[in-house]
Structure 1
Amino acid sequence: MQIPQIRLQSTPMKIGLDIEQPVQQIEQKAAVQSIEQPQAILEIHTNRGKLTIDQTKAREEMDLKSLSKRVEEFAQQGYQDWLAGMARRSQQGTELRHIERGGSPLADQAKQNSKGAEKQFNLGWLPSYFSVKLDYEPAQVEIKATAQKPIIDAQIYRPEHTYTPGSVNLDILQKNTLDIDFINLYPEETGE
């Protein structure tokens, strides 16, 4: 016995895609930059330091006196010696005026007048401590600095952008089909 059958045969649809990719181009030129830095303005004013060394006292102690100091000392000493000489002569005159009182005033005066002053010896070439006077005024430095701003020049460029959009083309390469067949739908009679 034959059973009726339905036969289905399908063919799927085949699609063809033609894809054109999009193209994007971006070009960015480098910026042109110029930087200039002017030098700072620097002004320096200096008042020089002053060192004063006064060694007058040390030189005097070493008996290396200036001419004016020597003249002043000699004048003072001369005046003192003149006063002492006047006093001595006045006293000796008074002694001679009273010669009748006895003694030997002439011999005593001769002996006194012939005797000089005692000599004094001292190390004259060594000055005392701190006899050299030092005075120092330090230097004064005024510094004035004026900064200069940098000069910046920048030239920028916009990016160059080119875009070509993509596309998709659809093609049907094979259509879908469905074939239906009926087999043994009407059984055949046999002569039995």
Structure 2
Amino acid sequence: MRLPQISIHTTDIQMDWQIHKPIQHIKQPRAEQRISQPAATVEIHTQKGKLSIDSSQARRELGNYPTSEMIMRYAQEGRQEMMKGISRRVREGRQMMLNAGKGQRGAIIQQIAMQNSGPKRPGPYNIKFVPSVGSVKVNYRPATVDVNIQRNEPKIDVKVNKPIHDYTPGKVKGTMIQRPRVDIDVIG
């Protein structure tokens, strides 16, 4: 027994394509930018330094006094020397009064003359530095500088431009040259 056979033949489709590619242009204009930097504000305040030198004590130690003080000192010293002179004369007069005429024959006057004559040494000598150390007073106040700076922020103005986009879509056109086909035959 013979079985029938099926024969299948296919024919593929054939197309003729006409393709027009799409066209796209993109342009990005540059951003417009303006930048300005305002100058900083600077304020400087200074206070001058001050130097003071007080040499009045050194001048006094050297014997240079103000006129009014010099007059007062000389008047005081004169008064003291006058009082010393008065007390010495009173003492010598009392000495002559008490001791005179007792057989001394003028010896008391000789004694008083001996007391008042001859060199008198003022005392132990030592080196003295005039003016003394530290007699000139120096005071210095340094200068001060105060600086205030106020910075100003930069001013930035930016304008962003949109991109320019030009697009032409593509086209595809097809023409069928051969139609697809399926042939089925039964053999036998």
Q: Structure 2 length normalisation: TM-score?
A: 0.71
1:64 is aligned to 2:68: no
Matched with 2:178 is: 174
Amino acid at match of 1:135: N
Which secondary structure state, in structure 1, belongs to the residue aligned with residue 140 of structure 2? strand
Identity across the alignment (%): 36
Query: What's the CA shift for 1:58?
Result: 4.8
Q: Specify which of 99, 102, 114 is matched with residue 111 of structure 1.
A: 114
1:74-93 alignment, distance < 5 Å: 74-93=74-93
The structure 2 residue matched to 1:151, chosen from 155, 159, 172, is 155
Shift of 1:97: 4.0
Go from structure 1 to structure 2 and tell me whether the alpha carbon gap of 1:44 and 1:5 turns closer, same or farther (over 3 Å shift).
closer
The residue aligned with 1:163 is 167
Q: Give the match for residue 22 of structure 1.
A: 22
For the structure 1 residues 98 and 28, does the alpha-carbon distance in structure 2 shift closer, same or farther, using more than 3 Å as the test? Answer: same
1:102-142 CA deviation, whole Å, 9 max, x = no partner? 45332222222224542353322266554443433343433
CA drift at 1:13: 0.6
CA distance in 2, matches of 1:64, 1:94: 41
Take 1:150 and 1:101, find their aligned partners in 2: how far apart are those partners?
117
Q: C-alpha distance in 2, partners of 1:48/1:7? A: 120
Unaligned runs of 5+ in 1: 186-192
Greater alpha carbon shift after TM alignment, 8-17 vs 41-50: 8-17
TM-superposed deviation, 1:99: 5.0
Match of 2:146 among 119, 135, 142: 142
Counterpart code for 1:89: R
Cα contact 2:40–2:151 (8 A) shared by 1: yes
Task: Give the alignment's TM-score, normalised by structure 1.
Answer: 0.70
> Alignment partner of 1:122: what SS?
coil
Q: Secondary structure of the equivalent of 2:147? A: strand
Report the CA distance shift for 1:80/1:18 in structure 2 as closer, same or farther (over 3 A). farther
- Shift in Å, 1:12: 0.9
Cα offset for 1:147?
A: 2.7
Q: Distance in 2 between matches of 1:39 and 1:150?
A: 9
